[in-house]
Amino acid sequence: MSTELTKKSISNGIRKLREVKGLTQEELAYKVGMKISYVTKLEASKHFPRVDTMYRIAKAFEITLTELLSFIIQDGKPPKKN
């Protein structure tokens, strides 16, 4: 398992988590306060989000930034709860 955050790993993680949470790209965009075109490009590995954007995405998923990054690093496996 690689701990490297790449455009591809971030885009796959965000897409998988969005699907797990049952959100459309439009719903995620609304919750995060961004255009749907940005979410589409993000999930297509065309953007590398800034940390503040990742924080807002995590908040939209109702998880912490640490949990979001853990989900991405663990290749889409849910973060372990203590």
The tens-digit pLDDT sequence of the chain (82 residues) is 455 678 899 999 999 999 999 999 999 999 999 999 999 999 999 988 999 999 999 999 999 999 999 988 887 665 555 4
Length of the chain: 82
The string of DSSP codes covering 40-82 is HHHHTT-----HHHHHHHHHHTTS-HHHHHHHHHTTTPPPPP-
* pLDDT at residue 74 in the model: 84
23: which residues sit within 8 A by CB, 6+ positions away? Answer: 31, 60
- The pTM (predicted TM-score) of the whole model is 0.84
* pLDDT at residue 5 in the model: 79
Q: What's the DSSP call for residue 11? A: H
* pLDDT at residue 67 in the model: 93
In the chain the domains, ranked by start, together with CATH numbers, are 7-73 (1.10.260.40)
